[in-house]
Structure 1
Amino acid sequence: MTTTTSKRRKYVREIKPTWWKKLDFYKFYVLRESTSVPTVWFCLELFYGLICLGNGTFADKFVDFLQNPIVVILNIITLGAALLHSFTFFNMAPQMMNVIVKNERIDAKLVSRVFWGITALVSIIALILV
């Protein structure tokens, strides 16, 4: 049995590394997904705090670490990234939910407001407990 190969070249569409820069939608998507990088920083920071707490050096080492200007700047960036991610999630998630009450779909804006209300309530309770 012989196999014949075609002399035609296979079509391969070129995809440039900057494909996402063409549309604002893609730019915002990449920005939103990149909010995971500051989240990794914050997780490592909390882990270091736990280590210091376990060693009994929380008041010395960890508090001094948090007062470093670079750490303060990174934490502000992390807060901004977390707020952006929360804002986009709370606006996007209700549009994907299909909650039906009395044969009518619940308004996405109402669900988004409920999400924000719960977030505010939990934040206030956490601030009171601290």
Structure 2
Amino acid sequence: MKTTLAKKETVTHDWKIVDASGLILGRLAVQIANALRGRNKPTYTPHVDTGDYVVVINAEKVKLSGSKEEQKQYMFYSGYMGNEKYRTVADFRENRPEFIITNAVKGMLPRNKLSSGMLTRLRVFRGEEHEHEAQQPSPLLS
């Protein structure tokens, strides 16, 4: 029996859409990361980028379990002494809710050269409207 490996030239990237309203962040991020990697396709090959484009809408309505809304913190460090800053999920939900989903998905992608290309295929939008209707995305979660 032969094993077929996907090639970079023959891979087609489909478009998927996810409505994040009411979904738990970690479970949503796993599904998005698997779609970006191509783990849900029969032609999955670890060393080839076989994933799809993923459009996420309603990023501000994603849920977190427990008391993570106020207790979970993101740290930013500029490199200067004493210049580390902490921000909570509630701060990001007001200003940049796209960061919450993007950061969670980035943490679930592999740490290799393919991951930056996979992350560029993730499009996260705050509300219902997105600019990718022309690509006719199909729903990722059924």
Q: Same fold (TM over 0.5)?
A: no
* Structure with the higher fraction of residues in strand conformation: 2
- The normalised TM-score by structure 2 is 0.21
Question: Based on CA coordinates, which of the two structures has the bigger radius of gyration?
Answer: 1
- The answer to which structure, 1 or 2, has the higher relative contact order (CA under 8 A, 6+ apart) is 2
* Structure with the higher fraction of residues in helix conformation: 1
- The normalised TM-score by structure 1 is 0.22
